[in-house]
Amino acid sequence: MTSASTKRLGDFLDASPTAFHAVDSMAALLEARGGRRLDEGSAWELEPGALHFVVRGGSSLIAFRPGLLPPQETGFALAGAHTDSPALKARIEKPLSGKGLERAAVEVYGSPILSTWMDRPLALAGRVALRGVADPRRAEDQQAGDRRIEYRLLNLSRPVGVVPNLAIHLNRDVNKGFELNAQTHLPVLVAAGLETPEGAADKGGSAGDEGGSAAASWILRLVARELGVEPEAVLGADLFFVDAQRSVVFGEEGELINAYRLDDLLGCHAILEAFVDAVPARHGQVAVFLDNEEIGSRTARGADSSFLRDILGRICALQGCGTEDFYRALARSFSVSVDVAQAWHPSYAEKFDESYAPLLGGGPALKANANFRYATDAEAEAAFRLLCADAGVGCQKYMSRADIAPGSTIGPMTSAHTGIATVDIGAPLLSMHSARETASLRDHELMTTVLAAHFRSGPRR
């Protein structure tokens, strides 16, 4: 990769500690490239070939260029990835305090390798819902009055806490394996030496409570101070403790990258770069970025929702399609689901089928599974192999050991909801779901190249 493209990836990773920030980063780039933001609650007007995008729930985004020809004649070229990653979701209202220490309780989001979260400087980031202050100049504010809600993104990129391990002297067997309990072991230490009287914590004081600022948790007060509001103005929050360290590049020629959330910001970034640089085509081009893959996708904005089908339906309707035309458009479409693949790990060779273990630096991996944990079938595999040949990109194949069930992706769900033929692919990745994962920049570049060819050439149907 060129140093400029490596820097763009690093900047995207560092600016996107949560799905909300990833969507915000992508929306900013799309707007900078002339993209028109559409609101699902408003009437749309679409221009063939122009860049449009829609955000649902603040953390899922679908961008598209309507094709220059009717969708039922050309179909859509789609590519999708997920915006979320495992994290520790903060329970910000109630402090866990005692003996002058204050901790923030958490819930585990997705399936992180928990040991990698220990003793690591953690930042706090996410979305906060605030009681809106009515602007006297805006008529809609006057109508909504005190019921107006304002959403703000928060990214305290500096460390604010740590989950401390127990000293080895008090657990001599820790290196034989230790099960971390989310309720008792994972609360994040955020302050020490507090003079707050014991028991103040029990008085509560939080979003919607009567407790007042003094009794609010340290984290809630920090969030309020950072946003310039009183703690009582915080009505709700989707905040996560996340790795505070930036991405780093290493290797003999700077060919490797180590960062939080490579799963699946690598996929998002490859699709985004290929999509914004694509030129309008006869077929529609659709870039899909969905939240909540790590917890099964069954949310209003996840892959197991109406979101993608809703947007495709609206594009078709606004391009003059009738009901039958819509189904014809879906049948002519092709989708590439991009998520990371398990790279062969030399220390754990026995965990892989050596014949189907993708290597770091070996290029995109095509992922297949007999039980459709990945959407790939022979038709989709063939289409992708031809696409790789067109793009001059080699392709590896990943299948898990026959006695190990692999992970899954958004591919099987978006495919099931739309009927669109879909291939699952991904860049090889080490340490999936660690707080720090490792991938090859060369694979990322090749992934972007093959996705650019996909948006250019369109569905082969």
Instruction: Point out which residues bind Co ion (CB under 5 A).
Output: 263-264, 339
Nearer to Co ion, 233 or 295 (CB): 295
Nearer to Co ion, 315 or 451 (CB): 451
For the bound state, the minimum distance from the C-beta of residue 293 to Co ion, rounded and expressed in Å, comes to: 6
For the bound state, the minimum distance from the C-beta of residue 113 to Co ion, rounded and expressed in Å, comes to: 14
Nearer to Co ion, 304 or 339 (CB): 339
For residue 59, what is the DSSP state?
T
Strand ranges for 20-132 from DSSP E: 36-38, 52-56, 60-65, 76-82, 87-98, 101-109, 122-131
Nearer to Co ion, 243 or 264 (CB): 264
- d(C-alpha 371, C-alpha 396), whole Å: 20
Nearer to Co ion, 93 or 264 (CB): 264
- d(C-alpha 317, C-alpha 339), whole Å: 30
Are 69 and 332 a contacting pair, CB within 8 Å?
Answer: no
Nearer to Co ion, 111 or 306 (CB): 111
For the bound state, the minimum distance from the C-beta of residue 426 to Co ion, rounded and expressed in Å, comes to: 8
For the bound state, the minimum distance from the C-beta of residue 387 to Co ion, rounded and expressed in Å, comes to: 21
Nearer to Co ion, 181 or 371 (CB): 371
Count the neighbouring beta carbons within 10 Å of the beta carbon of residue 405: 11
Nearer to Co ion, 206 or 434 (CB): 434
> H/E element holding 440?
strand 437-440
Instruction: Extract the tokens encoding 219.
Output: 């984290």
Secondary structure (DSSP) of 331-355: HT-EEEEE--EE---GGGGGGS-GG
For the bound state, the minimum distance from the C-beta of residue 339 to Co ion, rounded and expressed in Å, comes to: 4
Q: Among the residues of 291-395, which ranges form H helices?
A: 307-318, 323-331, 378-391
- d(C-alpha 261, C-alpha 347), whole Å: 23
For the bound state, the minimum distance from the C-beta of residue 32 to Co ion, rounded and expressed in Å, comes to: 27
Nearer to Co ion, 71 or 86 (CB): 86
Count the neighbouring beta carbons within 10 Å of the beta carbon of residue 128: 25
Nearer to Co ion, 238 or 264 (CB): 264
Closest CA to 270 of 283, 254, 257, 251: 257
For the bound state, the minimum distance from the C-beta of residue 261 to Co ion, rounded and expressed in Å, comes to: 10
For the bound state, the minimum distance from the C-beta of residue 304 to Co ion, rounded and expressed in Å, comes to: 15
Are 341 and 365 a contacting pair, CB within 8 Å?
Answer: yes
- d(C-alpha 125, C-alpha 123), whole Å: 7
382 Cβ contact partners less than 8 Å away, ≥ 6 residues apart = none
For the bound state, the minimum distance from the C-beta of residue 264 to Co ion, rounded and expressed in Å, comes to: 4
Instruction: Extract the tokens encoding 264.
Output: 């699946």
In the sheet that holds 76-82, the strands lie side by side as: 36-38, 52-56, 60-65, 284-290, 76-82, 334-338, 421-426, 365-367, 396-398
For the bound state, the minimum distance from the C-beta of residue 400 to Co ion, rounded and expressed in Å, comes to: 15
For the bound state, the minimum distance from the C-beta of residue 352 to Co ion, rounded and expressed in Å, comes to: 18
- d(C-alpha 200, C-alpha 203), whole Å: 6
Nearer to Co ion, 238 or 339 (CB): 339
- Separation of CA 433 from chain center: 13
- d(C-alpha 83, C-alpha 184), whole Å: 29
